[in-house]
């Protein structure tokens, strides 16, 4: 009996596919099959997989014209013979040789349709849990109500009972982006509980996953969000609902603001559908999401986007002659620097409250302690690139140090100019 089928959609992954395949073959659970769906690769991917096929009889290889990962996974589901199905991206891998055995044994022992473990990430060939969303880390083992889970993008670290998948007709939509989210949310909505294990069941390779959104991908992304919000709203999955909205109105709102503000009619229509599934009352502990949801519900998000864009243009022109410090050397600070460089705005330095906790420089710009500038505080204009929940604390710090000229950067403003999202 085949216990687990691992489905791998792949497209031009010859750099990573061997690491992926080796991690599967080394699993202590041997009753497995591997289904590789090649989504039209033009590199050496096919050659590498064919080589593995010669040595291992449990590998099935199918090639299709490029249609996206969702269609590839659906083909894998149709071909699967295992009692459970696992999904893996071709650039990722299993961190432990017992990962699949542990998940299978736990799923069987507790008779659940969905069973998973924690995620770790691989960055520059170093495996770590730093940067992993806390909701994708399970510090305790046991049953978990699906309504209490908010890890919207963790489907790869779970295994799914194949009969359960087919019984509920669970398939990935034909979207070029965000096809995994509707699948996972739908699966969770049909399972009252799942079992989570105190192991690392999946390693996500992070460093190269930069998505450039074409207009087609942007539309599909919005469709995926729409589908997921519809399901979580219908089944009162408040934790997951809030998690999805965090991404929708957070960094990835670049897609929403950029294309809707530019007048994409299809996205306008989809956003109107999304309004039907937005209920600020169901949002768990987030004033920011309340505001954003209300803007969309009230059809004011387009005006809001246009206003932000105009304000940013005015601001960036206004500070060109100022001596600029960026407070915050994290993701937001890097984004601000990139935008300033595009507008030929010179930045003297990044500044932080504790330089020992940061890198020495970013893109040739030094990271220095805020105290280094206190003696000449009135000469500088500080652009604060830190998430808003720290505003009260940081404002008090800057006032105490004598920095009066400052402006907080709204992440939504940055989103207007973002054409790529790093996952």
Which residues are registered as beta bridge partners of 408?
384
With H, G, I as helix, E, B as strand and everything else as coil, classify residue 368. Answer: strand
**How far is residue 186's CA from residue 191's CA, in Å, rounded to a whole number?**
9
**Helix (H) or strand (E) segment spanning residue 351:** strand 347-352
Burial category of 11 from C-beta neighbours within 10 Å (exposed 0-12, middle 13-18, buried 19 and up):
middle
Domain match, 186 and 241 both: no
Per-residue pLDDT at 338 exceeds 90: no
Domain match, 191 and 277 both: no
Chain position carrying tokens 């960036």: 316
Residue 419 confidence (pLDDT): 44
Residue 291 confidence (pLDDT): 59
273-328 pLDDT per residue, tens = 887 777 766 665 555 555 555 656 555 656 666 677 777 788 888 888 889 999 98
415, part of any domain: no
Domain match, 204 and 219 both: no
Domain match, 196 and 222 both: no
Return the C-alpha torsion angle 296, 300, 302, 308, nearest 10. Answer: -110
Residue 117 confidence (pLDDT): 96
Residue 103 confidence (pLDDT): 98
316, part of any domain: no
Residue 420 confidence (pLDDT): 39
Domain boundary (175, 208, 241) is at 208
With H, G, I as helix, E, B as strand and everything else as coil, classify residue 267. Answer: helix
Q: Give the pLDDT mean for 5-33.
A: 96
Residue 423 confidence (pLDDT): 36
Task: Return the top range by mean pLDDT from 92-96, 231-235, 274-278, 285-289.
Answer: 92-96
Domain match, 155 and 219 both: no
- Percent above pLDDT 90 for the chain: 51
398, part of any domain: yes
Which residues are registered as beta bridge partners of 322?
none
Return the C-alpha torsion angle 419, 245, 230, 238, nearest 10. Answer: 160
357, part of any domain: yes
414, part of any domain: no
420, part of any domain: no
Domain match, 16 and 150 both: yes
Residue 421 confidence (pLDDT): 37
Task: Return the top range by mean pLDDT from 118-132, 241-255, 293-307.
Answer: 118-132
Which residues are registered as beta bridge partners of 317?
none
Which domain does 385 fall in, by range? Answer: 323-404
Return the exposure string of 324-342: e unless at least 16 CB atoms fall within 10 Å of the residue's CB, then b. bbbbbbeebbbbbbebbee
Per-residue pLDDT at 422 exceeds 50: no
Cα angle for residues 122, 386, 255 (degrees, 5° grid): 70
Domain match, 174 and 87 both: yes
Domain match, 262 and 340 both: no
DSSP assigned state of 10:
E
DSSP assigned state of 328:
-
**How far is residue 150's CA from residue 285's CA, in Å, rounded to a whole number?**
13
Q: For the chain, what is the mean pLDDT? A: 86
Chain position carrying tokens 């449990």: 58
Q: What are phi and psi of 152, to 5 degrees?
A: -60, -30
Residue 333 confidence (pLDDT): 86
Per-residue pLDDT at 6 exceeds 80: yes
Residue 352, CA atoms < 13 Å, CB-side half-sphere: 18
Domain match, 96 and 202 both: yes
Q: Among 23-37, 91-105, 157-171, 297-311, which stretch is predicted with the lowest mean pLDDT?
A: 297-311
Domain match, 246 and 365 both: no
Quickly count: other Cβ atoms within 10 Å of residue 117's Cβ.
Answer: 27
Q: Give the pLDDT mean for 155-180.
A: 95
Domain match, 202 and 223 both: no
104, part of any domain: yes
With H, G, I as helix, E, B as strand and everything else as coil, classify residue 384. Answer: strand
Q: Among 176-180, 205-209, 263-267, which stretch is predicted with the lowest mean pLDDT?
A: 205-209
Domain boundary (208, 239, 268) is at 208
Cα angle for residues 87, 248, 416 (degrees, 5° grid): 120
Cα angle for residues 123, 414, 207 (degrees, 5° grid): 10
Domain CATH number, residue 114: 3.90.550.10
Q: What tokens were used for 197?
A: 């294990």
Contact 5, 73 (CB under 8 A): no
Antiparallel, parallel or unpaired: β 406-408 and 380-384 = parallel
Return the C-alpha torsion angle 281, 287, 288, 289, nearest 10. Answer: -10
Residue 218 confidence (pLDDT): 83
Domain CATH number, residue 394: 3.40.50.720
Cα angle for residues 203, 209, 210 (degrees, 5° grid): 160
CA 101, 106, 111, 114 dihedral sign is negative
**How far is residue 175's CA from residue 187's CA, in Å, rounded to a whole number?**
17
Domain match, 142 and 225 both: no
- Total of domains in the chain: 3
CA 265, 303, 307, 409 dihedral sign is negative
**How far is residue 418's CA from residue 423's CA, in Å, rounded to a whole number?**
14
Of 338, 314, 334, 340, the C-alpha closest to 386 is: 334
34, part of any domain: yes
């Amino acid at each position: 009996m085949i216990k687990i089928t691992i489905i791998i959609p792949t497209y031009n992954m010859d750099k990573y596919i061997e690491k992926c395949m080796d991690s599967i073959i080394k699993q202590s659970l041997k009753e497995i099959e591997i289904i590789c769906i090649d989504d039209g690769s033009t590199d050496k991917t096919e050659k590498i997989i064919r080589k593995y096929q010669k040595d291992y009889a449990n590998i099935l290889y199918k090639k299709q014209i490029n249609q996206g990962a969702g269609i590839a996974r659906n083909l894998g589901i149709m071909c699967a013979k295992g009692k459970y199905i696992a999904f893996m991206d071709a650039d990722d891998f299993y961190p432990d040789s017992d990962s699949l055995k542990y998940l299978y044994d736990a799923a069987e022992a507790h008779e659940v349709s969905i069973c998973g473990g924690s995620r770790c990430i691989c960055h520059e060939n170093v495996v770590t849990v730093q940067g992993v969303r806390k909701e994708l880390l399970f510090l305790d083992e046991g049953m978990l109500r699906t309504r209490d889970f908010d890890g919207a993008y963790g489907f790869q670290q779970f295994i799914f009972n194949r009969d359960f998948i087919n019984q509920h007709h669970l398939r990935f939509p034909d979207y070029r982006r965000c096809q995994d989210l509707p699948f996972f949310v739908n699966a969770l909505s049909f399972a009252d509980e799942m079992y989570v294990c105190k192991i690392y069941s999946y390693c996500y390779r992070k460093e190269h996953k930069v998505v450039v959104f074409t207009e087609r991908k942007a539309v599909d992304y919005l469709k995926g969000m729409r589908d997921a919000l519809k399901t979580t709203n219908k089944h009162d999955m408040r934790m997951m609902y809030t998690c999805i909205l965090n991404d929708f109105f957070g960094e990835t709102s670049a897609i929403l603001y950029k294309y809707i503000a530019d007048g994409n009619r299809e996205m306008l229509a989809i956003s109107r559908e999304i309004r039907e599934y937005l209920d600020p009352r169901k949002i768990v502990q987030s004033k920011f999401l309340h505001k954003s949801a209300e803007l969309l519900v009230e059809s004011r998000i387009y005006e809001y986007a246009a206003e932000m864009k105009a304000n940013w243009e005015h601001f960036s022109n206004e500070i060109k002659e100022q001596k600029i410090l960026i407070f915050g050397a994290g993701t937001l600070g890097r984004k601000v620097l990139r935008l300033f460089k595009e507008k030929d705005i010179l930045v003297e330095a990044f500044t932080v409250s504790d330089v020992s906790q940061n890198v020495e420089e970013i893109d040739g710009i030094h990271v220095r302690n805020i105290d280094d500038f206190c003696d000449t505080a009135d000469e500088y204009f500080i652009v604060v690139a830190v998430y808003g929940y720290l505003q009260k604390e940081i404002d008090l710090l800057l006032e105490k140090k004598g920095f009066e000229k400052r402006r907080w950067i709204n992440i939504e403003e940055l989103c207007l100019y973002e054409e790529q999202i790093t996952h």
